[in-house]
Amino acid sequence: MAARISTKDKILNAAEALFAEHGFEQTSLRQITADANVNLASVNYHFGSKKALIQAVIARYSSLFMPALDAKLKQLQSHPQISTREVFDCFREPLRELVHINKRGPAIYLSLLGYAYAEIQGHLRRFTMQEYGDVILRLVTLLHAANPQLTAEDVFWRLHFVLGATVFAQVSSQALQEIAKADFNSDVSAEDIIDKLIPFIAGGLDAPHENEI
């Protein structure tokens, strides 16, 4: 009953798993094509270059995630009162929807974002900003509305701390899950990590400004 998957999709599926685990530069086309059971040359035939493959992998997720997030944020924008917690809760469902691309889609997407940020300085970040800049802007606006006591710059920095905590948690999630299992005998899924993360980042964002303590 194995579905007949096109070579192009086989490559995308193998690539995203390897990219999420080892990063973009650390993953070779030889590994990808071996895992996908396709010929080495087919990557360049279907995508043109490794760089284009990376963008295709990310775009498959972003094109699903970003519009869904934007819709949630728009909805929240009409509320009279907005809390930080409500803003971050907007991420839950769009993130969960990514299982339709891959069972581990939510974790994969966050890992990809992390590596994109750390590795390809500027390149993919600029791409995202151009393509989805309005979503980011809406997000910052909402967070500022939820925290009028902070300056716009505070919100900017804290949003990046949030991003850091999130992608780091996902990139090192496998190791952390194993340690948690060994030390606390607890099985923690990728979604459980999100549940643990959201109170943390909401608490961090709501914290008073340095000078006010």
Contact 143, 202 (CB under 8 A): no
51 makes contact, choosing from its own copies, DNA, none, with CB < 5 to 8 Å by partner type, with DNA
Site string for DNA, 12-51 (x = CB under 7 A): ---------------xxxxx------xxxxxxxxx-xxxx
Residues in region 47-106 near DNA by CB under 7 A = 48-51
Residues in region 78-137 near its own copies by CB under 8 A = 85, 114-115, 117-119, 121-122, 125
CB of 29 to its own copies, least distance (A): 17
Residue corresponding to tokens 């899950």 = 177
Among 6, 25, 59, 191, binds its own copies (CB under 8 A): 25
**What is the chain's Cα-based Rg?**
19
CB of 24 to DNA, least distance (A): 9
Burial 90-126, CB ≥16 within 10 A → b, else e: bbeebbeebeebbebbbbbbbbbbbbbbeebeeebee
Shorter beta-carbon distance to its own copies: residue 98 or 124: 124
The answer to whether residue 168 forms part of the interface with its own copies (CB under 8 A) is: yes
Dump strand ranges (E) for 36-184: none
Nearest-5° Cα angle at 161, 60 to 135: 40
128 backbone φψ class: left, alpha, beta (φ>0; ψ -120 to 50): alpha
First to last CA, the chain: 63
29 makes contact, choosing from DNA, its own copies, none, with CB < 5 to 8 Å by partner type, with DNA
Nearest-5° Cα angle at 161, 159 to 162: 65
Residues that bind its own copies (CB under 8 A): 23, 25-26, 85, 114-115, 117-119, 121-122, 125, 152-154, 156-158, 160-169, 171-172, 175-176, 179-180, 183-184, 186, 193, 195-210, 213
Which residues contribute to the site for DNA (CB under 7 A)?
A: 6-7, 27-31, 38-46, 48-51
